A and B are shown apart, each in its own frame.
Chain A
Amino acid sequence: MWHFALRRGTVLLLTLLLVSIVAFLIPYIGEGDPALLVLRARIADPNVDQTTLEAMRHHLGLDRPLAVQYFAWLGDALRGDFGLSFIRRAPVADMLGGALLVSITLALSALLIALLVSAPLGTLAAMRPGGRADTAATLLTQTLIAVPEYWMAPMGILIFALWLGWLPSAGWDGPSSLVLPALVLALRPLAYFTRIIRAAMIDVLDAPYITAARSRGLGLRQTVLRHGLRNGAMPVITLFALWLAGLLGGSVVVEVIFAIPGMGRLIYEAVINKDIPVLQAGFVAIVALAVVINTLVDLAYLAINPALRHSHGA
């Protein structure tokens, strides 16, 4: 167990180091000269004379060796200082924090909706595999997986905002503006959750302790509620965490459609505007979050399920 945790921890640190190097190199991979990029972002004139360029390079510390620059950048980044946005001139860390909060709120709401629907649906399907409820649930999940969110979003806006006028069509202003985007985002996780809950519950309901509970005279509903849900929860928690990591930034299309100031839109705008500091910080934040969540899920799996500990050569 500890051996495994140590190994995963080392891999995690190496990964984060690699990610930071890639993020640091972003301005060099693209257009080439970062000083020119900064100048272009600040003054509209595309023709910059050589003296200005040299002065800018010195001002930004870009005339130092690359390794020195990297460690300076990494030191600042570790203290939470990712510099100023080229466009908004605000500290990138503050922009990122706000956007992250918005995205987490949106992602959690969507995943909770998905869970609330899929838990009863998947359980119902698992209680009689091949039955009518199972067929309906399977059909529903297969269909939902194929629905593009950029189709549901405009349709939702058309019906609930423009025609019925129940909800705002876009923006981030109070709980009512959360409803449509969260519902749209919930569709795909809902399908995957239902499938995994169904599979997990079929496995669980097949287990000997369920037969034992049933033969002691416990009703089917009681058995499912007391034993089934608890034992089938682990794969669902894993999938929930992975979706959470995936939706931070992965919800970019929905955030752009609904004009939600989250991570996805922040990065999208940074790409459009070539706002390098925001791109760097966004890249580090999203990848780091994804990798950390993934590692934590693996460790939690191991901590909760003792049967797995030996198979990992601990």
Chain B
Amino acid sequence: MALEAALPDAALPSRSPQAPRRPRFARPHWTLVAGALLLVLVAVTLCLGPTLAPYDPTAQTLIRRLKPPSEAHWLGTDHLGRDVLSRLLVGGHFAVIIAAVTLTLSAVFGTLIGVISSRKGGLVDEIAMRSVDLLISFPEVVVAIFLIALLGPGYGTLILALTVVGWTPFARLARGLAIEINAKPYIRAAEILGCSRRFIILRHIIPNAIGPISAMAFLRFGHKMITVGGLSYIGLGIQPPHADWAAMMAEAQPYIERAPLLVVCPGLAIFLTALSVTWIGQGLSQTGDKP
């Protein structure tokens, strides 16, 4: 979906690489700091999760099912008697990995397409931009569901599905940025000096466009993660018995009245992870905006 229309106008870099630089992170927006701290917290928890987990996340003890929080089980146990805290600590991997891989692929591919089509123009530009127009209107959940129906669930299918739709906003943004950078005097100078197209793209355009593009990647990260989680929630993402935040919520839904924590905790985990990257993205784009 073309949500990039809603993103704040990306600030264009106004200086050439040769001009004297102001310190890069002069005044970071507070959301950037808050988001980064939160993200570090989430990342450390996810990395150390398997070691920190007090119990085996898949070990079932049916006589101890749906227990409220206690000293032995800080967050209680689920409907199969598994320790909720242990499952929470390892449950973020699937969605985070897929979102990260998808966004890296989308950003690299989309930026290259956008920048190259802006430099080449003509038929290449026309074909690339019409493909963007077309793919950007595909609802990505639906594309993912169809690919899962054809190829079966798994990392590969989800990454493919989300990248097929996901590269388009990056291409649009990169092309717009590149067109404005192309008009700068230092590009003209590089052209007169006889620099190759490849050199101009790699040395001038991409370094100058990278800020807004990475801001967009962070802003979309949360959305991707939530989409992957949604697919896991309806059983088309990660497959049991692996612990996953969204899948935990789906499993806990029948018991929500008896044990609301089983739904609250994984939801909070997804929310905080998505919030941290969204704040970073927002902070990045606003730090760039300031004079």
Contact = CB atoms under 8 A, between A and B. Distances in A.
Contacts of A157: 256
9 contacts: A145-B223, A145-B274, A146-B274, A148-B274, A250-B1, A250-B142, A253-B234, A270-B149, A291-B137
Contacts of B3: 192, 242
A195 B6 contact: yes
Sorted from nearest, which 5 A-B pairs have the closest CB atoms?
A151-B267, A146-B274, A294-B137, A246-B1, A250-B139
Interface in A281-296: 283, 286-287, 290-291, 293-294
B249 interface: yes
Contact of A30 (B9, B149, B234, B253): B149
A181 interface: no
Interface residues of A, number: 56
Contacts of B222: 145-146
B28 interface: no
Interface in B21-41: 31
Interface stretch (B155-163, B192-200, B257-265): B257-265
A199 interface: yes
Interface in A208-265: 235, 238-239, 242-243, 245-250, 252-253, 256-257, 264
A242 B249 contact: no
Contacts of B146: 26, 267, 271, 279, 283
Contacts of A267: 142, 145-146
B275 interface: yes
Contacts of A286: 139, 142
Given A142-B278, A150-B246, A242 B1 contact: yes
Interface of A: 11, 15, 26, 29-30, 138, 142-143, 145-151, 154-155, 157-158, 162, 192-193, 195-196, 199, 235, 238-239, 242-243, 245-250, 252-253, 256-257, 264, 267-268, 270-272, 274, 279, 283, 286-287, 290-291, 293-294, 298
A143 B275 contact: yes
B133 interface: yes
Interface of B: 1-3, 5-9, 31, 130, 133-134, 136-142, 145-146, 148-151, 222-223, 226, 229-230, 233-236, 246, 249-250, 253, 256-257, 260, 263-264, 267-268, 270-272, 274-275, 278-279, 282
A199 B9 contact: yes
Nearest to B142: A249
B134 A195 contact: no
A245 B1 contact: yes
Nearest to B1: A246
A155 B31 contact: no
Given A145-B222, A146-B226, A267-B142, 18 more contacts: A11-B133, A11-B134, A146-B272, A148-B274, A149-B230, A151-B270, A154-B267, A195-B7, A250-B1, A250-B139, A267-B145, A270-B149, A271-B236, A272-B235, A279-B146, A283-B142, A287-B142, A294-B136
A158 to B, nearest CB: 5
Contacts of B134: 11, 15, 291
Contacts of B133: 11, 294, 298
A85 B189 CA distance: 64
B149 A271 contact: yes
Nearest to B143: A287
A144 to B, nearest CB: 10
A148 B137 contact: no
A37 to B, nearest CB: 12
Contact of B138 (A155, A239, A290): A290
B102 to A, nearest CB: 17
A294 B146 CA distance: 21
A146 B271 contact: yes
Contact of A151 (B8, B249, B275): B249
Indicate the member of B2, B9, B140, B250 with the most A CB atoms within 10 Å. Answer: B2
A142 B6 contact: no
B182 to A, nearest CB: 16
Given A199-B8, A245-B139, A148 B246 contact: yes
B150 A30 contact: yes
A245 B139 CA distance: 8
A114 to B, nearest CB: 12
B236 A192 contact: no
A246 B4 CA distance: 13
A272 B250 CA distance: 16
A305 to B, nearest CB: 15
Q: Among A142, A199, A272, A291, which residue has the most Cβ atoms of chain B within 10 A?
A: A142
Contacts of B130: 11
A236 B214 CA distance: 25
Given A150-B249, A162-B256, A271-B148, A242 B2 contact: yes
Nearest to B147: A29
Contacts of A143: 275
A239 B5 contact: yes
A151 B263 contact: yes
